[in-house]
Amino acid sequence: MTEDRSLIVSHTKNVWMLVIVAALGYFVDIYDLVIFSIVRVQSFHDIGIPEADMRVDGEYVLNMQMAGLLVGGILWGVLGDKFGRIKVLFGSILLYSVANIANGFVYDIHSYAIIRCIAGIGLAGELGAGITLVSESMSKEKRGYGTMIVASVGVLGAIAAYYVSAIFDWRNAYFVGGGMGLLLLVLRVGTFESGMFKDVAGKPVEKGKLSMLFTDPDRFKRYLYCLLIGLPIWFVVGILITQAPEFGSALNAPVTLSAGKGILFGYIGISIGDIFAGLLAQLTKSRRLVVFLFQLFIIGTATWYLSSDGLSEQRFHWIAFCMGTAVGYWATFVTIASEQFGTNLRATVTTTAPNFVRGALIPSTLLFEFFVGRFGIIMAAYIMIFILTAIAMFALSRLKESFNKDLDFVED
C-alpha cells in the first residue's frame, strides 16, 4: 500500500512538473511571438523603413511570421503524432531560439521577414505539443486546470517582452528571447512522453496522417469548426492592438498610442482571461458556454475601442486590457480542439489549429485592407470584428461539448 501511494505521489509530481515545463515553454514562445509587434517601429526606424511604409511593411513581416506558423503547424503536428510530443518540444524550441538570435542581426526588410518566417515555423510546435502532452497526462476531471496554467503563465511572456524591449534595444531583445529558449531546452531533459501516445505507437493505426482530416466529412467538419471558433483572437491582437498608432490617429488620440504598451496590457488581460475561462469551464462543466460568453465580450470591447473618439493613452491601456481579457479563451479553444480527436491525430489537430488561426490573420489582413480602402480604418475594423465573431459563434454551435470526455481513443 505504501509503495502504491509512493508511485501515485511520484506520478503526480511528474505530471505537474510537465505542466510547469510546458508553461515555461509557452512563456518563451509568446515572448518570441509578440516581440516583433513590440519593437516594430523602433526596428524599422533603425533599418531605414520610411514612416509612410511602417504599417504596410509591418503587415508584410507579420504575415511572413504567420505563414511560418502555418507551415510549422502542419510539420510539428504530423511529427508529434508519428514520433512523439516530446521530440516536437525539443525540435521546435531549438529552431525558433536560433531564428530569434538571427533576427538581431538583420539590416533590411526582406531578411527580417524571412527570418521571422523561420521563427514562425519553430514557434508553431510549442503550444500544440504542450497542450496535447498535458491533456493526455492528466485526468479528464483536472486537465482543464493544467491547460489553464500552461496558457495563463505562458502569455505572461508578452509582458516580459515589453519590459525587456524597454530596457534593451530591439536587437538585444531578440537575443534575450533566443537565449531563454536555449536555456529552457536544457531544462526539458528528463521530461516524459505521454502514456496514451506510447500505447498507440505500437498499434497498427494511421498516425499523424493529415489527409484523414479531409477524407471523412464528419471529421473535416469537426476540424473546421475548431479552427473557426478562434478566428477573432488574432485579429484583435494582430490588428486592433498591434496597429494602435494608426487607430489612435483615426480616433484623434492626443498622443501617439504605443503598440508595445497595448500588447503589454492586452496580454495581462489574456492571462487573466485564460484563468477566468478555465475556472468558469470547470464550474459550469461546459467549454462551449465559456467560448460563447467570450465572443459577446469581444464584440463589446472592440466596439468600445472603435467608438472612443479622442482616445487618451490611459483609456487605451484599459481598453487593451479588456480586449485581451475578451480573447482570453485561447487555452479553452486549444483544449476543445485537443478533445475532439483521437490520440493518433490529436497532436496534428492541437498543433495545426492554433497556428492555422494565427495564420488566418493573413486573409483577415487582406480583407481588412480591402475594407480600409473603401470605408476607412475604423469602419473596416467594425465590419471585420462582426464578421469574425459571427463565424465563430456559428462554428461553436456545431461542435459537441467535450468537457470530461475520455481521450483514450483513436480515429479510424
d(CA 184, CA 201): 27
Q: How far apart are the first and last CA of the chain?
A: 39
Q: What digits encode the pLDDT tens for the residues 175-203?
A: 999 999 999 888 777 677 777 877 887 77
Question: Would you give the distance in Å from CA 191 to the centre of its chain?
Answer: 23
Q: Say how far apart CA 209 and CA 220 lie, in whole Å.
A: 13
What is the C-alpha to C-alpha distance for residues 336 and 1, in angstroms, rounded to an integer?
37
- Going along the chain from its start, the domains and CATH numbers come out as 9-188+209-398 (1.20.1250.20)
pLDDT of residue 4: 44
Nearest to 116 by CA among 376, 358, 352, 340: 358
**Burial class, 313, CB count within 10 angstroms (exposed 0-12 / middle 13-18 / buried 19+):** middle
Asked if 215 contacts 223 with a C-beta cutoff of 8 angstroms, the reply is no
Cα–Cα–Cα angle for 201, 287, 210, rounded to 5 degrees: 35
Which residues does the chain have with pLDDT short of 70? 1-12, 190
Which pLDDT score is estimated for 144?
Answer: 80
Q: Show the cell assigned to 255.
A: 498622443
Q: pTM for the complete prediction?
A: 0.83
Query: What is the grid cell recorded at 405?
Result: 470526455
What would the DSSP string read from start to end of 377-398?
A: HHHHHHHHHHHHHHHHHHHHHH
The answer to whether 306 touches 382, Cβ cutoff 8 Å, is: yes
Angle formed at CA 230 by CA 159 and CA 368, multiple of 5 degrees:
85
Contact 263, 236 (CB under 8 A): no
The predicted pLDDT at position 15 comes to: 81
Model confidence over 263-303: pLDDT tens digits?
889 988 998 998 899 899 989 999 999 999 999 999 999 99
pLDDT at site 12: 67
Q: What is the predicted pLDDT for the residue at 5?
A: 47
Question: Which residue, 407, 399, 294, is CA-closest to 347?
Answer: 407
Residues 6+ apart with CB under 8 A from 330: 151, 155, 230, 233, 270, 273, 274, 354
Q: Which grid coordinates are listed for 306? A: 472603435
Q: What residues have CB less than 8 Å from 129, skipping those under 6 apart?
A: 76, 80, 85, 86, 88, 89, 92, 347, 350, 351
pLDDT at 85: 85
Residue 326 grid coordinates: 475578451
Per-residue cell: 287: 467549454
Instruction: Tell which residue, 331, 339, 347, has the closest CA to residue 133.
Output: 347
- The pLDDT > 90 percentage for the chain reads 53
